[in-house]
Amino acid sequence: MDEYYRIPDYPDHISSTAVLARMLDGLGFRFYWATEGLRAEDYAFRPAEDMMSVGELVTHVWSLMNWVSSSALRKPYEDPEDGPTAREGALGIIHDLRETLLAMGDGDLGRLRIRDKPFWNLINGPFSDALTHTGQINSFRRLAGNPVAGANVFTGEPPKGGKPGEE
């Protein structure tokens, strides 16, 4: 899935749904580059026994996005088999959520519920949590000796050379 190799063009209008879609674009881009080029040993890496491994974090990001999709949009996805499958699945769900939000009006957004809470809880709950865990993946990769390539998160441009180690 290369939708988030480069951040998508921003929406052509400002609305509540467009802002949330752009938040997902930022998550998708950051998650893409945090997980691009992970090796088997990276997926298994955990800095301490009581912490999630990189693979568990990737799967957790998938589960957060699946939770939003299945709760708010009534569109569940199949559980991933492993870390790379969870990576591709999470990126796909993020993209699907983005497209769904862009097709919605602000009134539709007001009717979204997650655990009987309004859409606001998507922001401070699973969306923020997924961003936090994406940052952990970045940090853990560095600790494992496979740092993330230097994508520009401000402009949404991929690193020079595109892939880790090609800068």
Provide the 3-class DSSP secondary structure of residue 49. Answer: coil
Secondary structure of the chain: what % helix, strand, coil (to 5)? 55, 5, 40
Q: Where are the domains of the chain?
A: 16-144
| pLDDT band at residue 34 under the 50/70/90 scheme | very high
Single pTM value for the model: 0.92
**pLDDT per residue as tens digits for the range 42-53:** 999 999 999 999
Mention the CATH class of domain 16-144: mainly alpha
DSSP secondary-structure letter at 126?
I
| pLDDT band at residue 163 under the 50/70/90 scheme | low
Task: Report pLDDT for 98.
Answer: 94
Q: Which of 164, 161, 159, 129 is nearest to 146 (CA)?
A: 164
Give the span between the Cα atoms of 22 and 99, in whole angstroms. 10
Amino acid letter, 46: R
Give the span between the Cα atoms of 161 and 158, in whole angstroms. 8
Provide the 3-class DSSP secondary structure of residue 135. Answer: helix
Going by C-beta distance under 8 Å and a sequence separation of 6 or more, which residues neighbour residue 103?
none
The stretch 142-152 carries a mean pLDDT of 93
Task: Report pLDDT for 11.
Answer: 87
Provide the 3-class DSSP secondary structure of residue 8. Answer: coil
Q: Taking CA 96 as the corner, what is the angle to CA 57 and CA 21, rounded to the nearest 5 degrees?
A: 85
Q: Determine if residue 51 is left, alpha or beta; phi over 0 gives left, psi from -120 to 50 gives alpha, anything else beta.
A: beta
